[in-house]
Copies of this chain bind each other. A is one copy, B any other.
Amino acid sequence: MSGFDLRSEPGADCRIGERATFDASVRWGHNVTLGDDAHIGPGATLYDNVEIGAGTWIGPGCSIGEPTMAFYRDRAAYEGARTRIGASSILRRGTVVNAGTTIGARFQTGPYAAIREETRIGDNCSVGNNCDIQYGVEIGSFTRLHTNVAVGSGTRIGPYVWVHPFVVFTNDRAFPTFLKQEPPVIAPFCSIAVHSTILPGARLGVHTIVGAHTKVGGYVPAYAFMDGSPAENRIDCRKILHKLGGRVVTPYPWIHHVGRDYPWADQPAEKRRIEEWLPDEWREFL
């Protein structure tokens, strides 16, 4: 790709699915594939080797398969890596996905989310407004990032994780030298409140709850409730009680209270067990 030759119509090397629609202002690279019923909004740019899943809606002004730094270093030699957006997804206005990233089905973004190259995101994930996901990040299925989450390169986040607004995942212990680059690892079922910083080398156990405005690092055991800056392990979160309309409730584990759109939706709330839904690769984080 030269970048100059983004075309104003899909070329013969593009495959457009049945009933797929696109605005006349879309710009097209080479070898772009649109699934059936996909839609591409005004002003979007689809670069080389992009695959858009069936029924996926790409909003106005999105860039998919955005060229990486290698393009600017040597345009003639650059070959855009394959970029895949799964089926039944919704990418809102201005979402940018760099070349070489793979995202699963039923994905959603808020406006202006940006996801860099060589990142893998599972199915049923969402990434909020203005999020910045760096390169080489791994995010499991059913994980939700709210507004303005920044994920440093190499971070590994399991499935079923909630990340609230303005959380930052860092990766360089001796910033800015990158002598000790240690991206954090976040086990499934964690929930991290707003404005928290996850320090380099942090390893959060299964279903860690992190309070707002918290700076947390190191090895955190499963079910800890971490709070403060620097964070302290205040309590096993399963012991936290809330009063609710005269009743006492235990909000954690949260899967007892949250089911919609999750694979355990049809189980009775009190019968849901985290162990049942924990992928084997994450068992050591229990």
Residues of A near any B CB (own CB < 8 A): 3-4, 6, 8, 21, 23-25, 27, 39, 41-43, 45, 57, 59-61, 63, 66, 72, 90, 92-94, 96, 110-112, 114, 128-130, 132, 144, 147-148, 150, 162, 164-166, 168, 170, 173-180, 191, 193-195, 197, 199, 209, 212-213, 215, 228-229, 240, 242, 244, 249, 251-252, 254, 257-258
Partner of A194, one of B168, B174, B180, B258: B168
Contact A254 B176 (CB under 8 A): yes
Contact check, A179 vs B23: say whether CB atoms are below 8 A apart: no
Q: How far is the CA of A129 from the CA of B111 in the complex (A)?
A: 13
Cα separation A93 to B27 with both chains bound (whole Å): 14
Majority secondary structure of chain A interface residues (helix, strand, loop or mixed): loop
When distances are taken between beta carbons in the complex, the residues of chain B under 8 Å from A176 are: 144, 162, 164, 191, 254, 258
**Shortest CB distance A133–B (Å):** 10
**Partner among B6, B61, B72, B164 whose Cβ is within 8 Å of the Cβ of A94:** B61
Chain B's nearest CB lies how many Å from the CB of A274?
Answer: 14
